[in-house]
Amino acid sequence: MAITAPINQQAVDEDAFVYSKNTVWRRFRKHKLAMAGAIVLLCMIVIAVFAWKFAPFDPNAIDNVHWQGNPLPPCFQDAGQCGGHLLGSDENGRDLLSRLMYGAQISLTVGVAAVVMELIIGTLLGAVAGYYGGWVDYVMMRITDVFLSIPLLPLLLTLTAIVAASSSKASLGFGVIVVIIGALSWPGVARLVRASYLSLREREYTEAAKALGNGDTRIMLRHLLPNAIAPIIVQATLDVANVIVLESTLSFLGFGIQPPTASWGNMLANAESNLEVAWWAAVFPGLCILITVLAINYIGDGLRDALDPNMR
C-alpha cells in the first residue's frame, strides 16, 4: 500500500494537469502577452456594452454647430476647431469616438455570433463524420473539400452581392452577415472535430460507454466532446479574430454592415477618399481593429499553450 499510493497519486495529478480549470488558468496567466490581450479585450467588451453610457455624442448625429463641410480635427491636434470631439469627426460631422464605441458592438458581436454558428455546424458535421466513419465520413469530407476549395473572401462577396441585388443594400444587416460568414467558415472546425473523434472513438472509455448501453448521440456529446474540446476552443478563439477582419473587410468594400450603422470597416470606406484632409478618420478605426484582433490572437496563443502544451 505504502508503495502504490504515491504512484496512484501521481496518475491522478497528471490527469488533473490536463483537465483542471485551475491548472489551465495558472498556465494561461504565465503567458504575459495573452494576459495583456485578455485585459485589452475585456476593456473593448466593456466599452462596447456600455457604449450608450460612455459615448460623448449620438453616433449618428451630425454636429451642425461646428461642422461646416470639412471633417473636424481631433482636440489634441487643434483644440480650437474640434468642437469638443476628442478624436475629431468624420466627413459628415459625426463624432468619431462615439462611432468607434458603437462600432465595437458590431465587430465583437459579429465575431462571436458567426463563430458560435460555425462551431455548431462544424462540430455537428465533424462529430458525425468522425464517429461513424465509413461512407458517412467520406461524403462529409468531400463536402468539406468543396467549401475549402472556394476562396472565402470572393465567395462571401458573391453571396452578399446577391443578397444586396435581391432586395437592397440596406438589407445587408447584422444577421445576414453573421449567417453568411458562419455558414461558410465551418470546414476548419469540422476537420478538427472529425480528427479528434476518429481517434477518440477507439478509446476504451468509448467502448465502456457503449457497453453500458448509451446511445450514439449521448456518447458523442457527453463522452467524446469534452475530450475533444481543447483544440476547438483554440480554433474558435482565433476564428473570432478572423471573422472580425472579414466583417470589416466586407464593410470596407461596401458589402457588409451598411451606413449609417457604424462599423469599424465601413467607417474606413469613406476615409479613403478623405485621406488627404482627415488622417484621423482613417487611422483610428483601423487601429481599433488591429488592437482587438491582436489581443484575440494572443489570447488564442495563450490558450493553446495552457490547454495542451503538445498541441503545437
Partner 1 sequence: MKQLWRRPKGGPRPLFTYVVRRTLQAIPLLILISLILFVILHNAPGGGLGPYLQNPHITAADIARLKHNLGYDKPIVVQYFLWLGHVITGDFGYSTSNSEPVFNAIVERLPATLELMISSFVLAFIIGVSAGLFAAVRPYSIWDYFITTFAFFGQSMPVFWFALMMQLAFAVHGIPLPGGYMIQLPSAGISSSDTFAFGDRATHLILPAIVLALLQVALYSRFMRSSMLEVIKTDYMRTAWAKGLNFRTVLFKHGLKNALIPLVTVTALTLPGLFGGAIVTETIFAWPGEGRLFFNALGQQDIALMMGYLVFNAFLVVFFNLFADVAYAWLDPRVKYD
Distance of CA 118 to the CA centre of its chain: 10
For residue 302, the minimal CB distance to partner 1 (Å) is 12
Residue among 249, 259, 270, 308 that touches partner 1 (CB under 8 A): 249
Residue among 38, 293, 306, 307 that touches partner 1 (CB under 8 A): 293
Q: Which of 85, 87, 77, 91 is nearest to 276 (CA)?
A: 91
CA triple 172-173-179, angle to 5 deg:
90
If one asks whether residue 136 binds partner 1 (CB under 8 A), the answer comes out as no
Q: In the complex with partner 1, which residue's Cβ is closer, 208 or 290?
A: 290
**x/- map, 193-232, partner 1, by CB under 8 A:** ----------------------------------------
Q: How many residues bind partner 1 (CB under 8 A)?
A: 43
- Between CA 208 and CA 247 the distance in angstroms is 45
If one asks whether residue 69 binds partner 1 (CB under 8 A), the answer comes out as no
If one asks whether residue 311 binds partner 1 (CB under 8 A), the answer comes out as no
- Between CA 230 and CA 226 the distance in angstroms is 8
If one asks whether residue 309 binds partner 1 (CB under 8 A), the answer comes out as no
Q: Which of 183, 188, 189, 214 is nearest to 201 (CA)?
A: 214
DSSP state of 94: B
Residue among 16, 162, 170, 221 that touches partner 1 (CB under 8 A): 162
Q: In the complex with partner 1, which residue's Cβ is closer, 228 or 268?
A: 268
If one asks whether residue 275 binds partner 1 (CB under 8 A), the answer comes out as yes
Sign of CA dihedral 165, 155, 230, 238: negative
| Contact (CB, 8 A) for 232 and 193 | yes
Residue among 13, 15, 78, 145 that touches partner 1 (CB under 8 A): 145
281 Cβ neighbours under 8 A, 6+ residues apart: 71, 88, 90, 91, 96, 267, 268, 270, 271, 274
SS3 144: helix
Among 55-63, 119-127, 161-169, 202-210, the segment contacting partner 1 (CB under 8 A): 161-169
Give the footprint of partner 1 on this chain (CB under 8 A): 142, 145-146, 148-155, 157-159, 161-162, 165-166, 241, 245, 248-249, 252-253, 255, 268, 271-272, 275-276, 279, 282-283, 285-286, 289-290, 293-294, 297-298, 301, 312
